[in-house]
């Protein structure tokens, strides 16, 4: 019997490496694919869009916030992978009474790398996990930050306007990418207003592609309301997915900085 403690302090026991895994977290589903657990993963959420062949072929067990417990029971998993923030606590607690549930809690790059390593150990893919973490760390080490960080706000929702505080994974990515979060003194995901962004002297306003799908049609509104602020669309997966997608995040952040610098000249 093997014992593992997850990032929330919850302990699970496994008799062997899991053979039937359900993932309740999109970014960790993609990680499981990179860990070569193609046959072991039997269930994912409707938001687990990467990899595409899994999205089209794996059994979907509902959304991240509203899972289908009956369908999960039918799949009889020997490991469920959840996340403290993305999944509903009460639903996770119900699952914990029936199956081993390992829950992540990632608020920065260090915790994300730790999560990858732990899932590698649990699933018998430690060597592959080491390779992924090494690549992530090397790529972030090469990321060049500007001499002076631009004051930025990052919006995740439209009505009401919602941003991110300093205790979030997105905030850590913003810092890594060379931005200073003007709302870093706030907690988690506070509501905000156009006036507050003006008062914060926001130089850059990032409109994320998820969870709210900000798009080009929203640019004109914010440009009109914040004429002194540069408004840009950003890839939310690069800022908020804390699995193997982190391998590509530094290159994206570098490109973002270059595009901003070019537009300022």
Tokens 């919602």 sit at which residue?
Answer: 162
| Per-chain mean pLDDT for the chain | 96
> Are 76 and 33 part of one and the same domain?
yes
Establish if 138 belongs to a structural domain: no
pLDDT of residue 145: 81
Domain span including residue 215: 150-264
234: three-class secondary structure by DSSP: strand
Task: For residue 176, give the 3-state DSSP assignment.
Answer: helix
In a domain, 143, yes or no: no
pLDDT at 181 over 80: yes
Of 91, 80, 93, 87, residue with least CA distance to 119:
80
CB 151 within 8 A of CB 200: yes
Whether residue 147 is predicted with pLDDT greater than 90 in this model: the reply is no
On whether both 159 and 84 belong to a single domain, the answer is: no
Q: Is residue 144 part of a domain?
A: no
Q: What is the dihedral of CA 100, 106, 110, 114, to 10 degrees?
A: 10
Phi, psi of 136 (to 5 degrees): -60, -50
| Domain contains 134 | no
d(CA 174, CA 61): 32
Asked whether residue 24 falls in the same domain as residue 125, the answer is yes
Residue 140 lies in a domain: no
Whether 104 and 179 share a structural domain = no
Residues 19 and 115 in one domain: yes
User: In terms of domains, do 77 and 177 share one?
Assistant: no
pLDDT at position 170: 98
Q: Indicate if 87 and 160 belong to the same structural domain.
A: no
Both 99 and 167 in one domain: the answer is no
Alpha helical stretches, state H, the chain: 26-34, 52-57, 69-75, 89-96, 109-122, 126-141, 169-177, 194-199, 219-225, 236-240, 249-264
pLDDT digits (tens, 9 = 90+) for 149-168: 999 999 999 999 999 999 99
Residue 93 lies in a domain: yes
* 3-class secondary-structure state, position 150: strand
Spatial CB neighbours of 165, under 8 Å, sequence gap ≥ 6? 171, 181, 183, 184, 185, 186, 187, 188, 189, 190
**Exposure letters 58-92 (e unless 16+ CB within 10 A, then b):** beebbbbeebbeeebeeeebbbbbbbbbbbeeebb
Segment 137-144 mean pLDDT: 96
User: Of 119, 112, 88, which Cα lies nearest the Cα of 239?
Assistant: 112
Number of domains forming the structure of the chain: 2
CA distance 42 to 54: 9
- What is the pLDDT at residue 262? 78
pLDDT band at residue 265 using 50, 70 and 90 as cut-offs? low
CATH of the domain at 238: 3.40.50.1980
pLDDT bucket at 193, cuts 50 / 70 / 90: very high
- Same domain for 76 and 169, yes or no, is no
Indicate if 191 and 105 belong to the same structural domain: no
Residue where one domain finishes, among candidates 129, 159, 191: 129
pLDDT band (50, 70, 90) for residue 201: very high
Query: Is the per-residue pLDDT at 97 higher than 60?
Result: yes
Residues 6+ apart with CB under 8 A from 94: 69
> Please, which residues have CB within 8 angstroms of residue 113's CB and are 6 or more apart in sequence?
133, 136, 137
Q: Please count the other Cβ atoms lying within 10 Å of the Cβ belonging to residue 221.
A: 12
Q: What is the arithmetic mean of pLDDT over 99-125?
A: 98
**In the prediction, which pLDDT does 264 show?**
65
Residue 204 lies in a domain: yes
Q: Where among 98, 129, 160 does a domain terminate?
A: 129
Place 210 in a pLDDT band, splitting at 50, 70 and 90: very high
Same structural domain, 256 and 197:
yes
* 136 within some domain: no
pLDDT in tens, 18-41: 999 999 999 999 999 999 999 999
Whether pLDDT at 140 is above 80: yes
The residue among 129, 161, 184 that closes a domain is 129
Q: Give the separation between CA 111 and CA 64, rounded to whole angstroms.
A: 21
Same domain, 260 and 204: yes
Tens of pLDDT, residue by residue over 44-80, are: 999 999 999 999 999 999 999 999 999 999 999 999 9
């Amino acid at each position: 019997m093997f014992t593992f403690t997850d990032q929330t302090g919850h302990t699970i026991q496994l008799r062997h490496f899991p053979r039937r895994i359900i993932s309740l977290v999109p970014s960790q589903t993609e990680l499981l694919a990179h860990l070569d657990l193609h046959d072991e993963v039997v269930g994912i959420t409707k938001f687990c869009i990467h990899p595409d062949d899994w999205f089209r072929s794996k059994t979907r067990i509902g959304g991240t916030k509203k899972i289908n417990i009956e369908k999960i029971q039918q799949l009889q998993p020997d490991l469920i992978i959840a996340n403290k923030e993305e999944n509903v606590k009460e639903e996770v607690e119900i699952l914990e009474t029936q199956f081993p549930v390992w829950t992540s809690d990632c608020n920065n790059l260090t915790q994300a790398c730790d999560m990858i390593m732990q899932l590698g150990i649990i699933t018998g893919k430690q060597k592959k996990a080491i390779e992924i973490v090494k690549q992530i760390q090397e790529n972030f080490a090469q990321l060049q930050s500007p001499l002076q960080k631009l004051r930025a706000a990052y919006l995740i929702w439209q009505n009401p306007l919602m941003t991110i505080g300093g205790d979030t994974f997105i905030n850590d990515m913003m810092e890594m990418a060379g931005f200073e979060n003007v709302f870093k003194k706030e907690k988690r995901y506070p509501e905000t207003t156009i006036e507050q962004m003006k008062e914060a002297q926001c130089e850059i306003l990032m409109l994320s592609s998820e969870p709210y799908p900000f798009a080009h049609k929203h640019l004109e509104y914010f440009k009109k309301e914040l004429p002194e602020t540069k408004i840009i669309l950003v890839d939310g997966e690069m800022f908020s997915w804390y699995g193997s997608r982190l391998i590509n995040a530094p290159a994206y952040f570098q490109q973002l900085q270059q595009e901003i610098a070019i537009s300022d000249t």
